Chain A
């Protein structure tokens, strides 16, 4: 058994990978050690993430339906037929799929904005020194630690048109004149955004709060000496200093929302109103109810590419400089 880090590294260095992987022989000792440490995680990532992606992409070019569920590899190769079927906006399925993608983008961007604003506000409040800060932090974490299904079901009850408390409150304070439909019709997507944001904002809050803790006090002191007010400090110190954390938070929230299944499924059911039909729910229903796995996989690949493209654009245009600096 190795007793020291040095011994452990020597043992690990004995593992010969250089012969099998040419690039590996070009790496320094430090880099090799790092790769070896990463290997188990990388293997798990391949197994859990990469393999399904590759398999999903593969069957998106095959006619996998109920007849081939047990022997999918025997399904005929259909080329891009599945893609042309689901991407053609002139067909009902294509039209619905594109509409679902549009709703997904609204869901993701809307949730991102609400989650970030709520999370940042809460983090800024928690970053102040006040009595009961510990209790406040615990309370603010509740939406995230509470079982999400229970939370969503409670929201569902609160959003009922006649018996829900939301309409009662809005009516009683005079904000609306008659009860609003939250769970059917065009409002559905905003209901989804609100409830999902409610369950997610504490995570954003914690991450930003950690970021706020890392901002040196000297910056604020210097700004005070220069006569900066609260807004200027936030605008020129806090917000820019949070940029690295925000970059991660924004990307995670956006991608997690795009592939979030629980919130729309629990809040709106397996057959949601059209406005609440987000991509992941539509794909699930389409693929699993109809056993149309080839076409469902094609839809999933399209959704995956859209999410990846959005992430790349985001990094390219908003954070390119910062991360390039990091690389250097």
Chain B
């Protein structure tokens, strides 16, 4: 009796222990795995990640911790991570930072054996997105969301001002700007931070030029097309009076506020302005229309797109789990939701079929703007060239609005930037 009791106790204990361990450890391949992730801060991100880390953990057993950081500190944090080989497993990558960070060994090759079977199918992405994600034949990031800049207008304001339709080319833009008789400005572009460079790139492509030669070994932005593009950009402020001089100080918050407040009728920008407009009481996406920006004198189109990617740091202990998390975020629904939250467009084309992008405005982005969207070359040293060229363009634009721009300044500014590009490349 006594031994029987002891046996029962032992059996019970063993059973309980077995079930307890199963309860603690069971549930799938990711049991007990935790990955750390980091993203650039934006309104609404916390709710998004609270929701999706929970769903992901239920699905895979992998726990995802997340943090957000501001753009101002992101570069330094990343540098510290790369130098010390510590930090999160998965991180958001800004497209323009890829060459230097990849060269410094900051990102894992996502086609390596450890992760290639777990990342999203890259065939779904546009070629332009994959070009950005690839550096020196390595896939360093998965395109997450992107923002091509489109001509956006508030139709009612445009009509009130006595002009009609979208400007097809530079001449039409100037004609409309001079004919416009509304209470607000017809057109505005951001002019602070790195915006002058992005605007210049857009005008350069529209002018038929390119930033670097095809083999990325020489600057090409300082040729005839470059000078014409920058001259046109400056003339929009001064000669044609299409751009208001105050906008040269404007950053994203300024232009979003002005567009949402109907203090301007049109812009060339990514979805941030559209989202800001939609968020205002009484405003609807039906008020807006979208098209590709005006083409240049020879009919060339072009607009800039920025893109955010997701990458895995090579020091991760959990590459498989990290890749699974990226794969999850790139599913149509989560991808569309994050893109909508931060004011960008999904890189997964199926994201356009979700409720978040269920409006013809987004179809216009997809159908008309994507085909002419381009971005910077992924070449080592581009950061230095971009900074120099941005200073040159910003200097020209600022001198134009303050009345200090003289003949030959545009050529000199571009030539100076080209000198730096030659040394860098």
Contacts and interface: CB of A to CB of B under 8 A. Distances in A.
A289 B74 CA distance: 11
Interface in B80-104: 82-83, 85, 99-101, 103-104
Contact of B105 (A70, A273, A274, A292): A70
B210 to A, nearest CB: 21
Interface in A252-304: 265, 269-271, 273-274, 277, 285-286, 288-292
Given A70-B82, A161-B245, A162-B246, A269 B193 contact: yes
A291 B100 CA distance: 7
A290 B387 contact: yes
B387 A92 contact: no
B419 A271 contact: no
Interface string A138-161: 000000000000000000000011
Contact of B82 (A69, A183, A285): A69
Interface in B372-418: 380-381, 383-384, 386-388, 390-391, 394-395, 398-399, 401-402, 404, 416-417
Contacts of B75: 288-289
Main secondary structure of the interface of A (DSSP, over half): loop
Given A161-B249, A290-B387, A291-B383, A271 B404 contact: no
A21 B220 CA distance: 63
A82 to B, nearest CB: 13
B420 interface: yes
Interface in A58-74: 66-67, 69-70
Interface in B244-259: 244-246, 248-249, 251
Nearest to A184: B398
A184 B249 contact: yes
Nearest to B101: A66
**Could you say which of A92, A163, A277 has the most chain B C-beta atoms within 10 Å of its C-beta?**
A92
Contact of B401 (A181, A186, A290): A181
Interface size class of A (residues with CB under 8 A): 20 to 34
Contacts of A160: 246, 249
A177 B31 CA distance: 71
B398 A290 contact: no
A274 B419 contact: no
B79 interface: yes
Contact of B419 (A92, A186, A270, A292): A92
B76 interface: yes
A163 B253 CA distance: 14
Interface in B105-153: 105
A107 to B, nearest CB: 18
Max chain B C-beta neighbours (<10 A), residue from A66, A161, A288 = A66
A66 B380 contact: yes
B387 A285 contact: yes
A70 B85 CA distance: 8
Interface in A180-224: 181, 183-186
A262 B308 CA distance: 27
B49 interface: no
A290 B381 CA distance: 6
Interface string B294-311: 000000000000000000
Contacts of A269: 192-193, 251
Contacts of B249: 160-161, 181, 183-184
B402 A69 contact: no
Interface in A207-253: none
B391 A274 contact: yes
Given A70-B85, A185-B404, A290-B384, A271 B248 contact: no
B402 A184 contact: yes
Contacts of A292: 384
A309 interface: no
A185 B387 contact: no
A273 B244 CA distance: 18
B39 interface: no
Contacts of B420: 92-93
Interface of B: 72, 75-76, 79, 82-83, 85, 99-101, 103-105, 192-194, 244-246, 248-249, 251, 380-381, 383-384, 386-388, 390-391, 394-395, 398-399, 401-402, 404, 416-417, 419-420, 423
For the complex of A and B, 10 pairs with smallest distance between CB atoms = A162-B246, A69-B104, A290-B384, A66-B103, A291-B100, A184-B398, A185-B402, A66-B100, A66-B104, A289-B383
Interface of A: 66-67, 69-70, 91-93, 96, 160-163, 181, 183-186, 265, 269-271, 273-274, 277, 285-286, 288-292
Given A161-B245, A269-B193, A288-B79, 4 more contacts: A70-B82, A70-B104, A271-B390, A291-B103
5 contacts: A69-B79, A92-B420, A184-B249, A185-B402, A290-B383
